[in-house]
Amino acid sequence: MRTKEIKTIIHEYDSIDELSKEDIEIINKAKQAAQKAYAPYSKFNVGACVLLETGETIQGNNQENAAYPSGLCAERVAMFYANAEYPDVPVKTIAVCAYVNSKLLNEPVPPCGSCRQVLLESEMRFHLPIKIILIGENKILIIDNAKQLLPLNFNSNNFSS
């Protein structure tokens, strides 16, 4: 038997003022996107902003549906749009935040498993890390790449014998 340890490194910031102008800009765009979310059932508004390597930004938000689980998370809305409209441009960063009753949650909300897989797929597609910024009122978390969120992942290597 062998024992392996998997470590995830998360950078925690107490204030948005500690971040770069570029990160602050996409955080603000993620917050704007959350305000436009369609979440009439959960009242859990999530916003995301993707920064492409070209400097272009793409906003997305969660889209609920009465025929649950037909909706989509903000991260996948933004990532799928970015990959559909700019299929040859890598994603550099994604910022994500969540609001309940028009109030930013105190703690950052991490992506669900499906969103983690989509982030990882895009990261592997371009062989470049995607920085993930998770925004809360009390702190901001930055993860250097999607593999940090999904260390034991399903990927194209699983298809070969």
- 155 falls within a domain: no
In this structure, which long-range contacts are made by residues 12-15, counting pairs with CB atoms below 8 Å and at least 24 apart in sequence?
A: 12/139, 12/140, 12/141, 13/139, 13/140, 13/141, 13/142, 14/138, 14/139, 14/140, 15/140
- For residue 38, what are the domain limits? 10-150
- 4 falls within a domain: no
pLDDT for the residue numbered 114:
95
CATH number at residue 33: 3.40.140.10
DSSP secondary structure code for residue 157 in this structure: G
Task: Give the pLDDT mean for 94-110.
Answer: 97
pLDDT for the residue numbered 87:
97
Residue 60 near residue 75, CB atoms below 8 Å = yes
Residue 156 above 80 pLDDT? Answer: no
Q: How many domains does the chain have?
A: 1
Residue 113 above 90 pLDDT? Answer: yes
pLDDT in tens, 130-141: 999 999 999 999
The H or E element spanning position 132 is strand 131-135
- 2 falls within a domain: no
Residues designated as active site: 75
- 157 falls within a domain: no
- 34 falls within a domain: yes
Task: Place 75 in a pLDDT band, splitting at 50, 70 and 90.
Answer: very high
- 50 falls within a domain: yes
- 1 falls within a domain: no
Q: What is the pTM of this model?
A: 0.94
Residue 49 near residue 97, CB atoms below 8 Å = no
pLDDT in tens, 14-49: 999 999 999 999 999 999 999 999 999 999 999 999
pLDDT for the residue numbered 161:
63
- 3 falls within a domain: no
